[in-house]
Structure 1
Amino acid sequence: MAILNVAFMFGGRSAEHDVSLRSFQAIYETLDRQRYNPLLVGVSRDGKWWLHEDTKSVLQNLESSGAQIVFLPGGRGKAIVHGPGTGYTLCHVDVAFPMLHGPFCEDGLLQGTLETAQVPFVGSPVLASAICMDKDIFKRTLRDAGIPTPRHLALARGEELAFHLAQRVLRSSSLFVKPASLGSSIGVSKVTCDSEFRAAIDLAFTYDNKILLEEYVQARELECAILQDPEVQTELLSSWPGEIIPANHHAFYTYQAKYIDQKGTIWKTNAEVAEAVADRVRALSCAAFRAIGCEAMARVDLFLRANGEILINEVNTIPSFGPSNMFAKMVEASGITYRVLVQRLLEHAIKRSERGGSPISARATLASAEPVRDDIR
């Protein structure tokens, strides 16, 4: 049975660097070493790619391992490794698994690099990644497709808007202010007055050159995991919705509530909703996935109002695989184990490359493995 070289890529230049490390650790610890040989590609905060030999070196010092790595354009998985005193050597990558969050990866930049290098990779292609990363373009795309999403306004750096005018346009007394292209609630503020509004705008602009002003939606926060069938691209498998309930001492689902405060959030893998509501959540989630052109996987974040209205808030093309994230939990609750989930995503990457006609290594064929259940609904 051929063992595949899988390049796990993590870290990155964005403010979600530490979130990415959690995702990588969760996958690395459960990887089936009988089928996959992990290559650890840590991306430092200055954007350099470092090849690490073990997780200990990554966690102690991701910024340098002594050997840098770069994929060859058109190299079909060939990568150059350069280390001090060792000169240049070649290694081969069968498939890449990007686990970097935020700008400089999740926005399509890394996907474009991998496509240029003809390396099969896990996740959505360039365009879908870019659309989902830019929340302004994302919401415009949903609206054009007739999919409901919260009202918003976008501001570029240098543009100004009075708080009362934003309230009037968005028809909301409270507003959310956030960077247009960042996740994990970094740089996000909930505002109720003009002074808070100005401070929130200044904060958001420290992370991005475009920011969003959004209406406040009084609703339950739901999530839905989507997996695309590796063989039949039109078939999407969707989970029963999960629910996120931030603790009362957090104004909303903040970064602290997600990753720092152990009592900051209650996560319900199976939200207590009627089956008809769950069906609508799944249908809207799949519709958003298709409208954007996503592939492989996504976590769809939604709002459920008290009157039953459902709004799509975001689609995350590289959901965190950390222990506190809902994506893997929802998939596992639906009957697909963590190990099979990782296997399925790698299989999808290679099947897509084969369909697209991109030459890949003859070794890059997945041997028969434990059955993958398709009963997730």
Structure 2
Amino acid sequence: MEFLEGLFSAGGGLFGYLIPALFVLTIVVFIHELGHFMVGRWCGVTIKAFSVGFGPELFGFYDKHGTRWKFSAIPLGGYVKFLGDENAASVPDQDAISQMSDEDRAGALHTKPLWARAAIVAAGPIANFLLAIVIFAGLLMVYGKAITPARVDSIVPNSAAETAGFEVGDIMIAIDGNEIEAFSDIQRIVALSSESTLQITVDRGGELVTLSTTPRRQEITDQFGNKQKIGVLGIRHQASPEDVRRVAYGPGEALVGGVKETYFIIDRTLGYIGRIFVGKEDADQLGGPIRVAQVSGQVATLGIAALINLAGMLSVSIGLINLFPVPMLDGGHLLFFAIEAVRGKPLSEKNQELGFKIGLAMVLSLMVFATFNDISYVFLSD
């Protein structure tokens, strides 16, 4: 553990960003693909290759089942290639399937029952969610949780909090009906709620008071010098050492906490995407691989626990994104399977091919957009 702490916190520049990013991405991608792999093998599908990364193979080996396990040169994803796949996105190779022997056809992914294909595809994102739950639960068991009271110690003049009628000494206990355990809970909810009205319940000298307030979008600079636009109430909190209490978690409580944290990230992510479409958030906050590398390097300076926590958050995000109903992604395959279930037969090859082309264009466009955001954010911002 001490060796890892030193490795990830030492140095800087390209090395300081690259090693933590590869550590985080490798864990998340490996577990995602392992989900596909394990359910595929359980369903009797022949698996040709398991790759972490794309592009030319760097090194690998064959297992006893003939599967090629390999690490590839471009560490921005990975894939499991099943018998009958035309490419890494599991597009069916109809010509190859039609020429297979009966024995080979029995092991091809695309000849399996609908339920089996759906289970194999869904297993990747589900594995990501399970990984996140395990990570968050494990961190709670090992480190516990530091809690400071959600107390208002001062109010910024002319802020949203002052307009709403907050008073010094108020203790927040709920936001929109969601229980507030610590001051950090407020920050996480308010940050992604700019220009949205929140109902906040406070304990004011033993009396419960509900205040309606709308956080204002404001650009802030974090401890690493990164600028971001978030919702701000204008409340300040000065916690003394006596205010901080550390809560220990047993296995059962930690598991519940891990599930809650995973759900929170899913809910906040979907909410953020929805707010982009209605104009309440800026799409320039969306990041790609360069931003992941930068954030990984910065978080690594805080220690291995912070980096592992980032891996959990990224695992949730990758699992969720893969469930979007876009052909080429897992969600796109599941969409085709749902259509097949309703129609009683799969879409025609022509329509599936058209869908995959549209999906590829959408994925590539998103990657270009995210990379442009990364370059603007990391290299061109003041």
Range class of TM-score, shorter chain: under 0.3
- What's the TM-score, normalizing by structure 2? 0.24
In terms of fraction of residues, the more strand-rich structure is 1
- What's the TM-score, normalizing by structure 1? 0.25
